[in-house]
Amino acid sequence: MDKKIIVAPSVLSADFSEIKGALADIKASGAPWVHLDVMDGSFVPNITFGSKFIADIRKHSDLFFDAHLMVREPQNHIEDFAKAGCQAITVHSEACVHLDRTLNQIKTLGCKAGVSIVPSTPVSMIEGILEIVDIVLIMTVNPGFGGQSLIPYTLEKVKRLVEIRGNRDFLISVDGGISDRTIVEASNAGIDIAVAGSAFFASKDKADFVSRISRGYGKK
């Protein structure tokens, strides 16, 4: 199969004081996307950065900015993230009462609209809105931190989404614990996008890492 997986390195695992270098490393690796983990310390236990940080780093990268909002009430911030230069904005179904409205808000601002579910949330929770999403982000760890191990049952949700996708054209992304060891199973499950934080930044040869992950190959 020739399908290439989009590799989206997460800057969460970068040294924020060296962020320009991290963006240059991502560019040089051949990865087309940059994954931006926004955490509010309430929906998830950790706090990272907001739209100003993204607007500032936007000047130093021409890659596709994929924002993952792990925040409560994301509808209050979506315009700021769109203006900051995010090209995809993903919100959590668990954080949105009016998910349909929030996803349409993202699309109206000209961004790809993504929905994410944590490991304990079943696919059935988002089946009704699959018509209007561009990306479904399956969390393969409990969100909040990088460097955790992939929870195997979450890949069953990827398989379920592939089964029910039909003619719809949303992309399926996985986030958390993606590495040389886990990519094969994730790829076999049918993913389109792989987010990788710690494994990317720990790689000595990042171009080789991206090339292998994009083809769904583990390390020889």
Among 5, 12, 22, 194, binds ligand DX5 (CB under 6 A): 12
Characterize the bridge pairing of strands 6-9 and 135-139: unpaired
Among 54, 57, 61, 143, binds ligand DX5 (CB under 6 A): 143
Q: Which of residues 35-64 bind Zn ion (CB under 5 A)?
A: 37
| Span from 58-66, 125-133, 140-148, 163-171 in contact with ligand DX5 (CB under 6 A) | 140-148
Binding partner of residue 174 among ligand DX5, Zn ion, none, CB cut-off 5 to 8 Å per kind: none
Burial (CB count within 10 angstroms: exposed 0-12, middle 13-18, buried 19+), residue 47: middle
Q: Pattern of binders to ligand DX5 over 172-201, x per CB under 6 A?
A: ---xxxx----------------xxxxx--
Which residue is catalytic, options 40, 66, 134, 175?
Answer: 175
Q: What whole-number distance in Å separates Cα of residue 158 and Cα of residue 148?
A: 19
Look at the block and give the residue holding tokens 């992304």. 173
37 is catalytic: yes
Please name every residue paired with 33 in a beta bridge, in sequence order, or none if there are none. Answer: 64
The single-letter DSSP state of residue 1 is -
**Per-residue b or e along 109-138, where b marks 16 or more CB atoms closer than 10 Å to that residue's CB:** eebbbbbbbbbebebeebeebbebbbbbbb
Which of Zn ion, ligand DX5, none is residue 136 near (CB under 5 to 8 Å by kind)? none
Note if 175 is an active site residue.
yes
Asked if residue 93 binds ligand DX5 (CB under 6 A), the reply is no
State the DSSP string of 65-86. Answer: EEEEEE-SSGGGTHHHHHHTT-
Residues near ligand DX5, by CB under 6 A:
10, 12-13, 35, 37, 68, 141, 143-148, 175-178, 195-199
What residues act catalytically?
37, 175
